[in-house]
Amino acid sequence: MALARVSSSSSRLLLLPPSTTSSLLHPFLRPFSTSSVSSPPRLSHSRSYPVDASFPQTSPLPSTGREEGEVTEAPRPTSRRPWKPTCLYYTQGKCTMMDDVSHLEKFNHSLLLDLPVNASAAEKVKPQKLDYFLVLDLEGKVEILEFPVVMIDAHSMEFIDSFHRFVRPTTMSEQRIGEYIEGKYGKFGVDRVWHDTAIPFGEVLREFEDWIGGHKLWEQKQGESLNSAAFITCGNWDLKTKVPEQCKVSKIKLPSYFMEWINLKDIYLNFYNRRATGMTTMMRELQIPIVGSHHLGIDDTKNITRVVQRMLADGAIIQITARRHPDTSEVKFLFKNRIR
């Protein structure tokens, strides 16, 4: 159902409808250990491709009256492995049932086959200025509730790794948190997992910095930006507005790696010469079926990643669209033709 830190040898994951997911998860959710999960070493820049993987040739979204964002089954470029819902404790690095055969039979602990790529699609990718893209889609209007990132190779489109944390608000009362999470995540059947795994935003950033440091994408120096990598967001809100607001609430200085980003809407507008109001518009126009639950951050991040893969395969050059001045915090938008 969601992902966090997984290796490139992962297998596939998907979602069930919320009612089914909730019933499946309940018997298998139990307290977890708090031992940390070490960051995997950064993979060498390889152009090899999974043997079974292929870039999905998607069909138009069916006009079946399905509500936008409803859980759907992902395209199956290969069907040798049966689909399983993903263990949400594992996505937080806290699953204690990895030796439980019945648990492993019922729940997936992987992502790679959910973002497949083949050599013929990768051959169409044009040279990029960056080596890695970090696709980010935050959740939470009052405070950030979910911080999901999917890392892909900018040249081969291959999935490299992912980072996913639920975030516990710092200014809300416990009663308000309970009501907020029930309304936000209860409909997906993951509110219990959120309560068990969510940590304060400051801790999320420390773990995230360990993760990007492990991939050699960032060093903790004054004013250090990402190394040959950039965040991709679907709009400017995530990094222009929400992260600075959350840092202020959490009394944290805005980290240097958040000073520039790629607004996929601007890239989409300039490449296809048409406007897209959001992720669902892009997916509909590109005939990519939505997978998972819309507004569950990790699912939206995965779907945005699939749009990025398609655009790369279509020949788009994906580059920085916005940059924040470190002293004045003024944001400069680098594309004249952009979504306002």
Question: d(Cα 136, Cα 192) in Å, to the nearest integer?
Answer: 23
Q: Helix 297-314 to helix 264-272 angle, to the nearest 10 degrees?
A: 30
DSSP code of residue 237: I
Could you confirm whether 203 is annotated as catalytic? Answer: no
Q: How many CB atoms lie within 10 A of CB 25?
A: 22
Strand ranges (DSSP E) for the chain? 132-136, 146-153, 159-168, 199-200, 229-233, 260-263, 322-324, 331-333
Backbone angles phi, psi at 276, to 5 degrees: -130, 125
Tokens read off for 116:
């497949």
Q: Is 295 a catalytic residue?
A: yes
Tell which phi-psi region holds residue 329, choosing left (phi > 0), alpha (psi between -120 and 50) or beta: left
Catalytic residue among 103, 109, 139, 143: 139
Write the burial class of residue 75 (CB in 10 Å: 0-12 exposed, 13-18 middle, 19+ buried): middle
3-state secondary structure of 84: coil
Query: 203, 209, 294, 295: which is the annotated catalytic residue?
Result: 295
3-state DSSP call for residue 161?
strand
Just list the catalytic residues.
139, 295
